[in-house]
Every structure is written in C-alpha cells, then in structure tokens.
Amino acid sequence: MNSYDFNGRVAIVTGGGQGIGLTVAERMLASGGKVSVWDRDQKLVDALAARFPATQLQVLNVDIGDLASVEAATARVVAQFGRIDILVNNAAIVGPNANTWEYPPQAFMDVVHIGLVGTFFVSRTVIPHMIAQNYGRIVNLSSVAGKEGNPGAPAYSSTKAGVLALTKSMGKELATYNIAVNAVTPAVAKTTMAMSQAPDFLKMILAKIPRGRMLELSEAAAMICWLATEENSFTTGAVFDLSGGRATY
C-alpha cells in the first residue's frame, strides 16, 4: 500500500460514516491527517468517534441538503482544527430503480437535492476558506452512471452527470489558486447504498464491467487520497475513471 502525506492537513469527508467515504477517512487518519466526518446517520458517526482520538477526528451529524446545517458544520471544523485543506464530496443517495416515465417525482428531487445541490452547498461554503489560504484539494464523487447513464436510474445518473459539470466549472474558477478540483467515476462497489438497489439492476450494471467484479473500497480510496494530496498540484477539472474498463472516455 502506498503511503500519503496528510500531516498537518485537515479534511472534510461527507457521507463518511460508511462505504467509500469511511475508507477514505480511515486512510487519511492513518496517514497523519485530521478529518471531520460528516454523516446524517448519528449511529454511524458515534461508532466512528469511539475509534479515534478527538484531537484527530471530528464527527458531525450533518444534512448536506440543508445549507444552514452545512454552514454550521463548516464553522465547527474551523473552530476545532483552524483550517480546511481537503474536501471529499462523497455523500449521495441512489433512489429507487424505475424508468424515467415511471419515476416518482419526489424521489427524483430528493436524489438530485442531496447528491448535486448538497455537493454545491458544501463546496460553496468551504471554498472561501481554501481561497483565503491559497491551498485546497477537492475530490467529488461522481459515477460511471454520470458518464454513460444507467437505465432505471435517471435521478442518480442525472445527479452524477451534474457533479461532473460542477467539477469542471469549479476547476476552471479556482485554477489561479493552489486549489485542485477533480472527480472520480466509480463503478458499483459493495456499499450499503449500492446493495440497496434491485437485484436485477445490480446484475445488469455488474455485467457491464470488463473486470468482472465490483470495485473494492480500498481501490477507490487509493485514487481519491492521491488526488487529495499536495502532490496533485497541476491537474484540475479532470475526471478519473474507476469503472473497471466500462467507460469508453
């Protein structure tokens, strides 16, 4: 396993109570970083808080779809750690599986609000702190669904396509600062969120992966953590593939 230098760095990981977000947070903590994990599931953040000292880990119950909640949480990160160097926008929901003309309107709005509007809320609130210190690394979690679209998942596909466009906009806006903004596009991984989808849907998207298996959480964390390091000093506004060969661009 490669080692990353996060000594002296402070990261926010949204949706960090489980899955890819948790694996990223654990790797950053093991690499000397200080991490604020945001999740709206209180049981998950409580379980994580018991494993690490408060001097290194902060856990907050945050709804990223609520701007006031995001602003309050950001203030608490700065109050405890004094700075914000890294933001991993990981939080999202997948919603039900249904064709577009049958998709529940409220479910569509919920998926987009958390995954896209929430990513905007967090980025909008955190970026000024990075600009003030002329340093930052932002990694947005999109999906191969955002590149190609998955049938039966119009809300999630639309959300993740929007995250890619937001990444490119922010990358250009922040290019004159020492702030890199990039996205990753994972294929399906064995997370609670992914496994909540219909079995036939999971079988269909797994069949699209030339590697013939799901993405490992550690594989996702390895790429995300490198993008969050100081060493990633030139690339910005880019999309890094984690689709096991599925994506064609």
Residue 101 DSSP label: G
Catalytic residue among 103, 135, 156, 249: 156
Q: Measured between alpha carbons, how far is residue 11 from residues 48, 74, 154, 160, 229 in Å?
A: 16, 11, 31, 22, 11
Nearest to 104 by CA among 155, 165, 32: 155
CA distances from 244 to 106, 160, 185, 189, 219 (A): 32, 18, 10, 11, 11
Six-digit token string for 235: 């690339």
Whether 156 is a known active-site residue: answer yes
Q: Which two tokens stand for residue 78?
A: 């700065």
Q: Which of these, 106, 105, 53, 62, lies nearest to 80 by C-alpha position?
A: 53
| Residues carrying an active site annotation | 156
